[in-house]
Amino acid sequence: MLALPLINSINFMKNKISLVSVFLVSSLISSQSIYADIDHKPRFDTTHTAENSLDWFGEYTGTEPCKHCQGIHTSLILKENKTFQLKETYLYAHGRNKTMISKGHFKFNTDHSSIITLNFRGRKRLFFIGEHTATPLNIKGKHIKGAVTLKQKI
């Protein structure tokens, strides 16, 4: 009678060991796939960038906050030939709005492929390009506190 519980206990332990072994082997296989070589250097996909992977061209719009007005309605149009039009309408009371339009060329940043630099009249503006979004950045490429992400019209 003692032999049956002992056999069941041994079978249970074998099943547990088999299950743990399968888990360990699958963990090792999956963790090795993110490494390029034996030195465990992570692989980075440098072939897929915002420029060649996203539908970045088109119009992005949004209304940004403004200290001296009711908001700044912004329209950024990016064209496939890497030209742009940036239209900013400062919204004031009683419809006395002021619109500024800037046109020029832009380029994708070589150090950070999701950032574009707009060049116009000796000035530069940076935007982070995401999936159907354009987020204004400061001149150092950092997020601006309170900045509104522009959404792409689809």
Q: Are residues 34 and 78 in the same domain?
A: no
Domain hosting residue 83, numbered range: 50-152
Q: Are residues 107 and 57 in the same domain?
A: yes
> Residue range 5-31: average pLDDT?
50
With contact defined as beta carbons under 8 Å apart, do 128 and 134 qualify?
yes
- Split into its structural domains, the chain has a count of 2
Tens-digit pLDDT profile for residues 36-54? 445 555 454 456 666 767 7
Q: How many CB atoms lie within 10 A of CB 127?
A: 25
Q: Are residues 27 and 58 in the same domain?
A: no
Q: Are residues 68 and 14 in the same domain?
A: no
With contact defined as beta carbons under 8 Å apart, do 138 and 128 qualify?
no
Tens-digit pLDDT profile for residues 98-114? 999 999 999 999 888 89
Q: Are residues 33 and 7 in the same domain?
A: yes
Q: Are residues 135 and 104 in the same domain?
A: yes
Q: Are residues 24 and 93 in the same domain?
A: no
What is the Cα–Cα distance from 86 to 37, expressed in whole angstroms? Answer: 45
Q: Which position has the higher pLDDT, 119 or 28?
A: 119
Q: Are residues 61 and 88 in the same domain?
A: yes
Q: Are residues 36 and 112 in the same domain?
A: no
The CATH number of residue 99's host domain is: 2.40.128.640
Any idea what DSSP says for residue 137?
E
